[in-house]
Every structure is written in C-alpha cells, then in structure tokens.
C-alpha cells in the first residue's frame, strides 16, 4: 500500500488545522490510538485481513466506469468511481472494516458510532455483526424520523439505536452523545468515527483507510485510457472522507486538479446552509481545529442541507488545509442543483446516485473541461436511501 502522501505532523496537524482537543478523561484512549494506528496499518497480518474483506465482503475493487452519455453531454471524458456498488451502498464501509479490525487488536468489546443519514450507522452495525461485537449507534431524533429505512437496517443487524435529543437533533448532536458515551466507558469501548473528522489520529486513520479509492483509480485508469493520471478528480465533501480517499494518491501530483462540492443548502447566504469552507472560520469542534460555521462570538451555527450526510457545520482538517493552501478547490452546490444532477445521472446513465454524491455531479454544469480531458468523479453512494426525498421533490 502506498502511504505518506499527505504531510501531517506528530501532533496531527495539517498546517494550522487538526490536533487533538479532547477532555482529560479521553486522553488515554486517544493516545492509545495515536501510538498504535500507523503500526497496525503497516502490519502485514492487518493488511492481509483488511484486503481480503475489502475484496470478498465489500466487493472491491469497485469499477471505474466510463460514462459515455454524460461525457457526450459535457463534451469531456467522465469516469465514475463506483463506490455506490460497495456492500451497504457507499464508501463508508471501507473505513468501518479497517476500524473494526483495529478495535479487535486493541481488545475492545463494545463499539459506538454517530450517524446522520444512517449510512455510517449501517456500515458500523454491519461490521459489528460480522465480528460479533456489541454496537450502539447515536442518531439525532430528527434524523431517526427522516431516515427510517436505515434505522430499520441497523436494528436488523442487531445494533441499538439511541436518539440524541439536544440541539437540532441531527448529526452534530449525535456526535456529542457518542463522545459522552466514550467518556463514561473509556476502557472497553472503541468509537468508530465515520469521516476524516475528530481528534488526531482519526482524520489520518480514516483518510488512509479510504485511500484505497485513489489507489484503485491509479491502477484502473491506465488500463482503460492509456493515461497514468486524470486531469481532475471530483467528490462531495461532508466531513470529507470519500473526497480524502479519492484525492489521496493525487495530492502530490500537481497536474491533477482536485475539486470538491460542499452543500450550500438553500444558498450560501441564505442562513440555511452547510457550506463550511465558503463561510467557516477556524475553530474547534469535536476534537480538532478546522473551518467551522460559527457566530462572531464562536457559537456553532446549526447547519442545513437537504442531504443528511452533508448536514454538518464543520469539515475535516485535511480539507481545511487543502483549501487554505489552494491545493484543492471547494464549490458550494445548492439543494436544487443537486436534485437536478440526480435526475440527469439517472436518465443518462441508469445510475441513481445518493443526494450527497449528486452535489459533486452538479459541478459539471459549473466547471468547463476540455474535450480530451479525463475527469474522475467519486460516486460515493447509491440513492436508494433518498428515494422518498426524490419522490417528494421530483415527481
């Protein structure tokens, strides 16, 4: 496995973003992870088990698909990296497989997680069933109501779903509850964070587990195009894990443009938005320093997006760094633009994307590529979980 493509220092900073801001009671847990994660990731026995499960359980490598009709429409060469074909329907399981193997090596018996749309909750409940470990998923009460099918899936898999009743009763509040649980059960519990957020080492750990996405693109692209590198890689950013995985092996290749979409909700200046990089200022949330949508006196602003998976007021510190250094570009995309992109991909390619993913697809209308340029889009997940929303807005 290729690693060390991203400059992160010993304390978990990418430039001025990152770090590990945790309560005293969790220092030991976080330190344990910091001390062991690189060694575990490099261990051949871990790699063997991880790779075997990715292949035979998740269904990797996922296809790199040339989208012919979409390419004709935008007069360029568009390839879709099909993470929607992973077991459970999104890229999230790449990370939960890796973290459950790490938790086993640490002797943890109890797994906790937070979830928004329920995709990370389902991916966590799935690997807990696979390994026979207890699983508790925190989820905002509002999200439990609006994402009923994923709540049912988690229960089928044997997980306990606990409602978070504070704040907007969405992802941020579920994360607060998960951290509270970890504080009360530090010794036997591993917290599987679902994106490249949280205290060091989580952002780096999750990025390295998701890096399989760009590792496969590097193998598949030459076979299909005769070219070693694409001209651009695009992805949507909530916390930023599918984008981190898709960008990872291209970060030190300056000829490859890195382009991401964040959720603008009803519009960047509407007050109903989750466009963290457009609006955020440096601050600390859930254990790391990054951009954060906040008031002048530092209160977190409740975010909004039609897509529960992007409805978060922060962003992973790696992305804050890539944005600050201008290595990657971040564009806000509204609910309406995303919904248009959902219909377009469904009708042109016979693929119904997740709402989150549609934010990345919507950028094709905004960014003009040359005819011969190769653009890889990370198709982070499938749209089954969003059908009710699609019916409501589109039919």
Ligand X SMILES: *Cc1c(COP(=O)(O)O)cnc(C)c1O
Positions marked catalytic? 92, 114, 380
Taking the complex as a whole, the smallest distance from the CB of residue 307 to ligand X amounts, in Å, to 8
274 phi, psi to nearest 5 deg: -130, 30
Taking the complex as a whole, the smallest distance from the CB of residue 175 to ligand X amounts, in Å, to 13
Distance CA 207, CA 82 (A): 18
Nearer to ligand X, 236 or 363 (CB): 236
- Beta-strand runs (E) in 122-265: 134-140, 160-164, 189-191, 232-236, 257-265
| 240 sits near ligand X (criterion: CB under 6 A) | yes
Stretch that binds ligand X, among 134-142, 185-193, 214-222, 239-247 (CB under 6 A): 239-247
Which pair of tokens denotes residue 99?
């973290």
Taking the complex as a whole, the smallest distance from the CB of residue 320 to ligand X amounts, in Å, to 13
87-126: which residues touch ligand X (CB under 6 A)?
90, 92, 117, 119
Interaxial angle between packed helices 119-131 and 92-105, expressed in degrees from 0 to 180 and rounded to the nearest 10: 40
Q: Which residue has the tokens 């994660």?
A: 37
Rounded to the nearest angstrom, the gap between the alpha carbon of residue 295 and the centroid of all alpha carbons in its chain is: 25
113 phi, psi to nearest 5 deg: -155, 160
Distance CA 202, CA 316 (A): 10
Which pair of tokens denotes residue 91?
């890229």
Stretch that binds ligand X, among 70-78, 231-239, 293-301, 328-336 (CB under 6 A): 231-239
Under 8 Å between Cβ of 232 and 373: yes
Nearest to 307 by CA among 275, 280, 277: 275
- DSSP-assigned letter for residue 395: -
Stretch that binds ligand X, among 105-113, 221-229, 271-279, 353-361 (CB under 6 A): 353-361
80 phi, psi to nearest 5 deg: -105, 125
Using Cβ positions, the residue closest to ligand X within the complex turns out to be 381
Nearer to ligand X, 241 or 294 (CB): 241
Taking the complex as a whole, the smallest distance from the CB of residue 6 to ligand X amounts, in Å, to 16
Stretch that binds ligand X, among 17-25, 52-60, 232-240, 295-303 (CB under 6 A): 232-240
Under 8 Å between Cβ of 186 and 26: yes
Nearer to ligand X, 77 or 164 (CB): 164
Strand, coil or helix: 279:
helix
| 147 sits near ligand X (criterion: CB under 6 A) | no
| 199 sits near ligand X (criterion: CB under 6 A) | no
| 251 sits near ligand X (criterion: CB under 6 A) | no
Nearer to ligand X, 220 or 241 (CB): 241
**Interface pick for ligand X out of 195, 257, 288, 389 (rule CB under 6 A):** 195
Is the four-CA dihedral 26, 101, 11, 309 of positive or negative sign? negative
Q: Which residue has the tokens 């949330």?
A: 285
| 290 sits near ligand X (criterion: CB under 6 A) | no
| 380 sits near ligand X (criterion: CB under 6 A) | yes
Stretch that binds ligand X, among 2-10, 42-50, 222-230, 241-249 (CB under 6 A): 241-249
Number of chain residues interacting with ligand X (CB under 6 A):
20
| 170 sits near ligand X (criterion: CB under 6 A) | no
**Interface pick for ligand X out of 241, 294, 305, 389 (rule CB under 6 A):** 241
**Whether residue 61 has a cis bond before it, omega within 30° of 0:** yes
| 239 sits near ligand X (criterion: CB under 6 A) | yes
Nearer to ligand X, 76 or 96 (CB): 96
234 phi, psi to nearest 5 deg: -125, 145
Taking the complex as a whole, the smallest distance from the CB of residue 341 to ligand X amounts, in Å, to 13
292-311: which residues touch ligand X (CB under 6 A)?
309-310
| 357 sits near ligand X (criterion: CB under 6 A) | yes
Nearer to ligand X, 183 or 343 (CB): 343
Distance CA 15, CA 324 (A): 9
Taking the complex as a whole, the smallest distance from the CB of residue 117 to ligand X amounts, in Å, to 6
Under 8 Å between Cβ of 154 and 118: yes
- Work out the number of other CB atoms within 10 angstroms of the CB of residue 65: 17
Specify the DSSP element, H or E, that contains 355.
helix 355-361
Taking the complex as a whole, the smallest distance from the CB of residue 305 to ligand X amounts, in Å, to 10
Q: Which residue has the tokens 């925190």?
A: 138
| 354 sits near ligand X (criterion: CB under 6 A) | yes
Residues forming contacts to ligand X in the complex (CB under 6 A) are 90, 92, 117, 119, 195, 236-243, 309-310, 354, 356-357, 380-381
């Amino acid at each position: 496995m290729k690693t060390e493509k991203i400059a992160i220092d010993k304390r978990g900073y990418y430039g001025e973003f990152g770090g590990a801001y945790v309560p005293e009671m969790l220092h030991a847990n976080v330190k344990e992870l910091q001390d062991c994660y690189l060694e575990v990731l490099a261990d051949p026995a871990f790699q063997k088990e991880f790779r075997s499960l990715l292949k035979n359980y998740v269904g990797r490598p996922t296809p790199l698909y040339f989208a012919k009709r979409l390419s004709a429409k935008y007069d360029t060469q568009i390839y879709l990296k099909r993470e929607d074909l992973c077991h459970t329907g999104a890229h999230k399981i790449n990370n939960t497989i890796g973290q459950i193997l790490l938790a086993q090596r640490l002797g943890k018996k109890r797994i906790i997680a937070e979830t928004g749309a329920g995709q990370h909750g389902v991916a966590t409940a799935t690997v807990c069933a696979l390994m026979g470990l207890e699983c508790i998923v925190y989820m905002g009460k509002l999200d439990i109501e609006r994402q009923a099918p994923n709540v049912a899936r988690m229960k089928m898999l044997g997980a306990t779903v606990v409602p978070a009743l504070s704040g907007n009763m969405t992802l941020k509040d579920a994360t607060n509850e998960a951290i509270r649980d970890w504080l009360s059960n530090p010794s036997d519990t591993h917290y599987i964070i679902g994106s490249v957020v949280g205290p060091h080492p989580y952002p780096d750990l999750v990025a390295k587990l998701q890096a399989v996405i760009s590792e496969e693109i590097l193998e598949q692209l030459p076979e299909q195009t005769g070219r070693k590198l694409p001209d651009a890689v695009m992805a949507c950013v909530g916390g930023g894990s599918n984008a981190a995985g898709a960008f990872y092996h291209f970060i030190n290749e300056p000829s490859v443009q890195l382009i991401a979409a964040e959720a603008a909700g009803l519009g960047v200046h509407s007050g109903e938005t989750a466009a963290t990089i457009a609006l955020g200022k440096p601050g600390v949330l859930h254990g790391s320093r990054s951009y954060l949508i906040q008031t002048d006196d530092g209160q977190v602003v409740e975010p909004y997006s039609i897509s529960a998976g992007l409805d978060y007021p922060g962003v992973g510190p790696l992305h804050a760094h890539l944005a600050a250094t201008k290595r990657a570009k971040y564009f806000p995309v509204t609910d309406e633009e995303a919904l248009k992109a959902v219909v377009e991909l469904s009708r042109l390619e016979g693929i119904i994307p997740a709402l989150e993913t549609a934010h990345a697809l919507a950028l094709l209308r905004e960014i003009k590529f040359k005819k011969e340029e190769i653009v890889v889009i990370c198709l982070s997940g499938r749209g089954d979980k969003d059908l009710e929303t699609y019916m409501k807005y589109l039919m």
